[in-house]
Structure 1
Amino acid sequence: MYTFHKEERLCSVKLIQSLFHNGSSFVVYPFRIVYQTEHATEVRAKVLISVSKRRFKHAVTRNRIKRMIREAYRLEKPSGLSVYLSQSPKSLHFAVQYIGKQPEAVLPYLREKMILVFKKLHDETARLDS
């Protein structure tokens, strides 16, 4: 239930290029979300998490922020994203980019923002489908 398997990670270079060239985006601070719907596959959602090297010079800081974002995603996915995906016939590819200026990302804050991201994703993709 509260899992984040390797199959759920967006790793394919072709899919990532397609996402950034053809996808839509929105901002829920401190995240920028780029998303694209695809024909339904086995894995209903694939996610890419990134933190800017320009903004955070130290790899330790970037990796800590990415770990916190992955944890927020993992904990909020069953109540937010999975409910939407069970209703939709399509699968979803999206990138979560951290655009915040402070490296002090706190898990409860990121979880709260991840809930808002899932709601906005649901609204945006529902708008595209209709």
Structure 2
Amino acid sequence: MSYTFKKEERLCSKRLIESLFHNGSSFVLYPYRVVFIRSNDLDSVNAPMVRCILSVSKRRFKRAVDRNFLKRHMREAYRLQKAILTGFLDEHSLHLLVAFQYVGKEMLPSAQLHQRMELVLGRLKDESTKRYLEMGD
């Protein structure tokens, strides 16, 4: 498993982002809110299992320095622990679109962000199992 976060793994398409937020399922595991949906229109066989977007609210963190700091640490936490999710999705040949939103009111230490990201990825694995594998959606 390579610990990279390439351009192909980032969710950039406006159409896919709108679809994610209008039709996706979500859960909150403080300090993250996660919105996810199964992606069926990935045309390439070599497409990544997960395409994600990370965001921090401008309303809660006025200074761009603070938002960028949090996004950088969220990206790092995801990058190092994404194997939890990608192995499972590869096994079941699922493709997901995911949005990680930081909903905390204060800046948490990096170690705590990493710990919570691990829990979030485990929960995302469970939620996608319930939603897409057991129900046959």
Report the TM-score, using the length of structure 1 for normalisation: 0.94
Q: Quick one: which amino acid aligns to residue 11 of structure 1?
A: C
CA distance in 1, matches of 2:55, 2:39: 21
SS of the counterpart of 2:123?
Answer: helix
SS in 2 for 1:69: helix
- Structure 2, unaligned stretches of length 5 or more? none
CA deviation after TM superposition for structure 1 residue 32, in Å: 0.2
- Percent of matched pairs sharing the same residue: 48
Could you tell me how far 1:39 is from its partner in structure 2? 2.4
Match of 1:64 among 61, 69, 93: 69
Distance 2:110 2:89 in 1: 24
Number of equivalent positions = 128
CA RMSD of aligned residues (A): 1.1
Residue 119 of structure 1 is matched in structure 2 by 122
Instruction: Indicate whether 1:24 and 2:25 are aligned.
Output: yes
Aligned structure 1 segments of 4 or more residues deviating by more than 4 angstroms: none
Cα-to-partner distance string for 1:101-122 (whole Å, 9 max, x where unaligned): 112x322111111111111111
Q: What SS does the corresponding residue of 1:26 show, helix, strand or coil?
A: strand
Partner residue of 1:97?
Answer: 101
CA distance, structure 2, for counterparts of residue 106 and residue 75 of structure 1 = 16
One-letter identity of the residue aligned with 1:128 = R
Q: Which amino acid aligns with 2:78?
A: Y
Residue 90 of structure 1: CA displacement?
Answer: 1.6
Look up the match of 2:4: 3
Q: Distance in 2 between matches of 1:87 and 1:110?
A: 27
Give the TM-score of the pair, scaled to structure 2: 0.89
Identify the residue that residue 87 of structure 2 maps to in structure 1.
Answer: 83
